[in-house]
C-alpha cells in the first residue's frame, strides 16, 4: 500500500512539474503583470522594508502596485522565500528596480517554491486527512481518494500554472479538518488559525469549524467542563493570532491598516467575471448603478450568512464526520455564491471538502470538480493555460473512471442524464468560444456565458449539498 501511495504522490508531482513549464499570470504583460509579479513583489517588500512598513503606503511601498493584501503568515512566507531568492540572485528582490523582473532562472526558482510547498505541506496534509476520514476505509478507498486529490487539476493549474500558494492555506485547513475528525480539537484550532492567517478566504471554512467546536463544548456534561474546554480552544486561537500579529499590535492604527488591506471594500463586489450570483444578477441589473459599495457589502454579508446558516445549525445539533464535510462544502459554496469580492480561484475552497466526499458521492463530486475547472477557463485561457487545463482535466476524468469502474450506481439514474447534458453544454461552449469571436459590442460574451453556466451548476450543487445533509444518515 505504501508503494501505491508513493506512486500517486509522484504522479501528482509529475503533473505539477509539467504544468510548471507553461506560462503564468501576467507573463510579458506590463505594467502590472499578474499574480506571479504580486508574489515576487511581496518578497521584494518584506525583504527590504521593516515589518511595520509592509502594509503601509510609502515611497518605498506603493500599495497601488500589488500592495500586500493577505494576512501576516503570507508576509512571513514571502520574507522567507525572498531571503532565499536574494541569496541566489539579488536582482530577484532588489527594491524598486526588480519590478516586473522575469528570467528563466527566476521562473524556475518561483515554480520550485510552489512545488516545495506541495511536498512539505499540501500532499502530506491531504494524505493525513484521507487516513482520518473513516477507519472503515479499505486500502483501495484511501488510494482512490489520495490519487484523485493529488491529480485534481483545479489546484494544480492555479498554484503551479497561474501562480499562487493556495496549497499552503488549503494544507493547513486539511490538517485542521483531519484533527477535528480525530477529535484533536486544540490541534485543529491551531492549524486552522494558521490557515486563516495565511489567506483570509479561509473564512469560507470558518463557520463549520466554529459550529463543530462550539457544539462539542456545549455538549460537555457540566458547566465547568464547558468553560474549561472553550477557554482552552480560545487560548490556542488567541495566542496564535497574537504571536502572528505581534508586530502590528503595538499600535491600533497599524492593526487597523492591516485589516483594511485584508478587506478592501473599495474594489467592488467583483472584478473579473466570476461564477457567483452577483455576477449573474449584474447581467440584467447593474449593481454598481443601484448600490454603493458599503451597501453591497452589507447585502453580501446578509445573504451569505442566510445561505450558510441552515447547514451550520444542522452541524451544531448533529456532529457527524460526513455532516461536517457536507457543512464545509455547503458553506464554502454559500460564500462563493453570495459573498463580497469573490475571485475565480476561491472555488478551490469548496473543492477541498468535495474531494473528500468522493468516497460517498463519487459521480456527483467528480462532476462538481470538473465544473470548478470549467468555471476558471477564462482565467486559464488568459494565462495561456488552456491546453494543460484540458489535458489535465481529461487525465483526472480517466483516473476517476479507472478507479470507479465497479461503481454500483445505476447507469439509468437521473444523474447520468444531467451529467451528459452538462458535459455537452460545457464542451459546446468551449468549442464555440475558441471558434467564434465575440461581437465587438460584447467583448466579454464568452467569459460571461462560462460564469453564468457555472453559477447555475454551483447553485444546484449548493441545494443538493444542503438536501444531503438534511436527509443523510451516514455517521
Residue 410's pLDDT is 44
Question: 58 in helix, strand or coil?
Answer: strand
Domain count of the chain?
Answer: 1
Residue 49's pLDDT is 97
The label of the residue with cell 475552497 reads 349
Distance of alpha carbon 452 from alpha carbon 438, whole angstroms: 16
- pTM equals 0.95
In a domain, 63, yes or no: no
| 255 membership: H or E segment, kind and range | helix 252-262
Burial class of residue 124 in the structure, from the number of CB atoms within 10 Å of its CB (0-12 exposed, 13-18 middle, 19+ buried): middle
**Count of C-beta atoms within a 10 Å radius of residue 260:** 14
Residue 406's pLDDT is 53
Distance of alpha carbon 170 from alpha carbon 122, whole angstroms: 7
Closest CA to 351 of 309, 317, 315, 393: 393
Residue 475's pLDDT is 60
pLDDT along the chain (475 residues), means of 10: 88 96 93 94 97 94 94 98 97 95 96 98 96 80 92 97 97 98 97 98 97 96 94 98 95 92 82 89 87 89 96 95 96 96 94 94 94 96 96 94 64 72 94 93 93 96 95 72
**Count of C-beta atoms within a 10 Å radius of residue 235:** 12
Distance of alpha carbon 42 from alpha carbon 62, whole angstroms: 11
Before 321, cis peptide (omega within 30)? no
* DSSP class per residue in 151-215: H-HHHHIIIIIII--HHHHHHHHHHHHHHHHTT-HHHHHHHHHHHHHH-GGGGGGHHHHHHHHHH
* DSSP class per residue in 31-42: TT--HHHHHHHH
Q: What are phi and psi of 98, to 5 degrees?
A: -90, 0
Residue 121's pLDDT is 98
Question: Is residue 356 a contact partner of residue 325, using CB atoms and an 8 Å limit?
Answer: yes
Distance of alpha carbon 198 from alpha carbon 194, whole angstroms: 6
Q: What are phi and psi of 61, to 5 degrees?
A: -145, 80
Closest CA to 108 of 133, 130, 89, 80: 89
The three cell numbers of residue 405 are: 469502474
As a whole number of Å, the end-to-end CA separation of the chain is: 26
Residue 265: CB partners within 8 Å, gap ≥ 6?
A: 293, 294, 297, 340, 341
347-358 b/e (C-beta count within 10 Å ≥ 16 → b):
bbbbbbbbbbbb
Residue 474's pLDDT is 63
The label of the residue with cell 500586500 reads 68
The three cell numbers of residue 184 are: 484533536
In a domain, 96, yes or no: no
Closest CA to 73 of 121, 10, 131: 121
The three cell numbers of residue 49 are: 522594508
The label of the residue with cell 486539511 reads 174
Point out which residues pair with 61 in neighbouring strands: 58
In a domain, 211, yes or no: yes
Residue 306's domain comprises 2-27+102-471
In a domain, 303, yes or no: yes
The label of the residue with cell 502590528 reads 248
Point out which residues pair with 58 in neighbouring strands: 61
Question: 61 in helix, strand or coil?
Answer: strand
Would you give the distance in Å from CA 13 to the centre of its chain?
19
Question: Is residue 198 a contact partner of residue 76, using CB atoms and an 8 Å limit?
Answer: no
Residue 405's pLDDT is 65
In a domain, 88, yes or no: no
Amino acid at each position: 500500500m505504501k508503494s501505491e501511495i508513493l506512486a500517486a504522490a509522484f504522479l501528482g508531482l509529475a503533473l505539477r512539474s509539467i504544468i510548471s513549464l507553461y506560462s503564468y499570470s501576467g507573463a510579458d504583460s506590463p505594467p502590472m503583470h499578474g499574480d506571479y509579479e504580486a508574489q515576487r513583489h511581496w518578497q521584494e517588500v518584506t525583504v527590504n522594508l521593516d515589518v511595520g512598513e509592509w502594509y503601509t503606503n510609502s515611497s518605498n511601498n506603493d500599495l497601488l502596485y500589488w500592495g500586500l493584501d493577505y494576512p501576516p503568515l503570507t508576509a512571513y512566507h514571502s520574507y522567507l522565500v525572498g531571503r532565499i531568492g536574494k541569496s541566489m540572485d539579488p536582482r530577484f528582490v532588489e527594491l524598486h528596480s526588480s519590478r516586473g523582473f522575469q528570467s528563466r532562472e527566476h521562473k524556475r526558482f518561483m515554480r520550485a517554491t510552489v512545488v516545495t510547498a506541495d511536498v512539505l505541506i499540501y500532499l502530506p496534509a491531504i494524505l493525513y486527512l484521507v487516513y482520518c476520514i473513516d477507519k472503515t476505509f479499505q486500502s483501495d478507498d484511501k488510494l482512490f481518494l489520495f490519487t484523485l486529490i493529488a491529480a485534481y487539476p483545479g489546484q494544480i493549474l492555479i498554484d503551479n500554472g497561474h501562480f499562487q500558494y493556495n496549497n499552503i492555506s488549503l494544507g493547513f485547513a486539511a490538517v485542521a479538518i483531519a484533527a477535528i475528525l480525530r477529535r484533536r480539537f486544540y490541534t485543529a484550532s491551531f492549524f486552522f488559525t494558521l490557515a486563516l492567517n495565511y489567506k483570509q478566504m479561509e473564512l469560507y471554512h470558518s463557520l463549520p469549524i466554529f459550529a463543530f467546536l462550539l457544539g462539542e463544548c456545549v455538549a460537555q456534561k457540566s458547566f465547568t467542563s464547558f468553560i474549561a474546554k472553550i477557554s482552552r480552544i480560545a487560548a490556542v486561537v488567541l495566542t496564535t493570532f497574537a504571536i502572528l500579529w505581534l508586530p502590528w499590535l503595538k499600535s491600533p492604527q497599524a492593526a487597523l491598516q492591516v485589516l483594511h488591506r485584508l478587506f478592501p471594500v473599495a474594489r467592488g463586489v467583483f472584478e473579473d467575471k466570476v461564477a457567483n450570483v452577483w455576477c449573474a444578477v449584474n447581467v440584467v441589473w447593474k449593481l454598481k448603478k443601484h448600490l454603493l459599495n458599503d451597501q453591497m457589502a452589507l447585502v453580501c454579508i446578509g445573504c451569505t450568512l442566510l445561505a450558510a446558516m441552515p447547514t451550520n445549525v444542522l452541524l451544531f445539533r448533529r456532529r457527524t464526520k460526513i455532516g461536517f464535510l457536507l457543512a464545509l462544502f455547503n458553506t464554502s459554496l454559500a460564500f462563493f455564491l453570495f459573498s463580497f469580492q469573490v475571485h475565480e480561484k476561491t472555488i478551490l475552497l469548496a473543492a477541498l471538502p468535495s474531494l473528500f466526499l468522493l468516497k460517498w458521492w463519487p459521480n456527483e463530486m467528480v462532476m462538481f470538480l470538473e465544473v470548478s475547472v470549467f468555471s476558471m477557463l477564462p482565467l486559464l485561457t488568459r494565462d495561456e493555460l488552456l491546453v494543460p487545463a484540458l489535458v489535465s482535466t481529461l487525465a483526472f476524468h480517466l483516473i476517476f473512471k479507472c478507479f470507479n469502474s465497479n461503481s454500483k450506481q445505476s447507469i439509468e439514474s437521473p444523474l447520468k442524464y444531467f451529467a451528459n447534458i452538462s458535459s455537452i453544454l460545457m464542451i459546446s461552449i468551449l468549442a464555440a468560444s475558441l471558434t467564434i469571436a465575440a461581437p465587438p459590442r460584447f467583448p466579454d460574451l464568452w467569459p460571461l456565458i462560462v460564469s453564468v453556466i457555472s453559477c447555475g451548476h454551483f447553485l444546484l450543487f449548493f441545494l443538493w449539498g444542503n438536501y444531503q445533509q438534511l436527509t443523510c444518515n451516514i455517521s
